[in-house]
Structures are given as C-alpha cells and as structure tokens.
Amino acid sequence: MSEIDIRRKHALSLPKARQAAERIAKQLECEFDLEYRWEGHALHFRRAGVDGRLTVSTEEIHLRANLGMMLSLLKGRIEGKVHEHLDEALAPPRNVAAKKVKPAKRAAAARTARRKA
C-alpha cells in the first residue's frame, strides 16, 4: 500500500475553499472514477484501490489517500494530477480589468529610469 499526503496553504474563505475542494473532487471523479461525499469539512472519496479524504480549513487543504497495490504503480501520475488541480483551484482570481506589465517591459522601464537618474 502506498500513501499520498498533500497539504496546500491557501488564502480563501472557508466557503470558497470548500468550493475549490468540490471542483477538485469533481475533476478527480471524472478522471479516476471516484465516489465522494462530504462529512462536515472533510470530503471522503473512494473507489476500488483508493480510499482517502480531503479536509478543508481556513488555512489549508489537506489531501490524504491510501492507494492499493495496483494503483501504487500510478502514484506519481495521480499525485501530479492532484497538484495540477490544486494549482488551478487555489489560484488567485484573475482580474481582467487590471493591466499587467510584462516582465520584459518592466525591466526595460527600470533600465531607462536608472539611465535618467
């Protein structure tokens, strides 16, 4: 048996963190045919060869899963997918109204400012 244990800090409110966890669970349900259910702030999931939970708090999301022998061979792939989904679900919202300066332009502006000084 193999175990996956991932903790990810976040700056979301508890309801937003639960929504993010729900999105992650739905994605994993589609990809790995998992069944899940909420019990308080813990999302329990399972399927043949996998049993685990994703706990949500105001500070972090903690995923712990036990993989059976056959799925332990795919541990790296499964962990990679979980990390991808966490990155996506916990990313700060994009503000399309705010203009972002590209790093190359920012560096050029800094060089120009230093030359003028």
pLDDT tens, position by position, 18-51: 999 998 888 888 888 889 999 999 999 999 999 9
Arithmetic mean of pLDDT, 64-72: 93
* Per-domain residue ranges of the chain: 2-90
- State the DSSP string of 11-43: ---HHHHHHHHHHHHHHHHHHH--EEEEETTEE
* pLDDT band with cut points at 50, 70 and 90 for residue 112: low
Answer yes or no: are the C-beta atoms of 83 and 6 closer than 8 Å: yes
User: Is pLDDT of 96 > 60?
Assistant: no
pLDDT for residue 7: 95
Answer yes or no: are the C-beta atoms of 45 and 52 closer than 8 Å: yes
pLDDT for residue 98: 46
- Give 20's Cβ-side CA count (13 Å radius): 31
Q: Which fold has domain 2-90?
A: TATA-Binding Protein (3.30.310)
